[in-house]
């Protein structure tokens, strides 16, 4: 019964974590798309004309490199936060296990000697 509850709790926590990661990555991607549109508009305003096919292609490739950089940075930050959270949870689990062990040992010390 207890194992099943722990497994359900862990599954729910993982699902929430994955949903959070998806939302954060979608947010990063939306910001990137908006910045790319703004960058293209700024270029066209500066040049006073629309981009040629070659310039459009160069802009697209440059944008992909920028996107890879932005998405990689976001993923690294998410993984770092996830690692810190897991280390914190493991430390709390170890502390709880230590407290439970000490409590059991104290209870055993109070028992009368067996004959």
Task: Write the pLDDT tens digit of every residue in 38-52.
Answer: 998 998 888 888 888
| 108 vs 32, more confident | 32
Judge whether residue 114 has pLDDT over 80. Answer: no
Judge whether residue 111 has pLDDT over 90. Answer: no
CA distances from 20 to 8, 14, 96, 106, 114 (A): 18, 10, 27, 42, 55
- pLDDT number for residue 108: 81
């Amino acid at each position: 019964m207890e194992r099943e509850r722990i497994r359900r709790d862990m599954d729910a926590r993982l699902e929430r974590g994955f949903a959070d990661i998806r939302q954060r990555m979608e947010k990063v991607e939306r910001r990137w798309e908006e910045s790319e549109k703004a960058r293209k508009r700024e270029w066209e305003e500066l040049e006073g004309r629309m981009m040629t096919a070659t310039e459009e292609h160069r802009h697209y490739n440059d944008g992909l490199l920028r996107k890879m950089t932005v998405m990689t940075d976001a993923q690294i930050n998410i993984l770092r936060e996830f690692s810190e959270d897991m280390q914190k949870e493991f430390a709390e689990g170890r502390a709880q296990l230590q407290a439970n062990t000490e409590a059991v040992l104290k209870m055993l010390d109070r028992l009368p000697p067996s004959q």
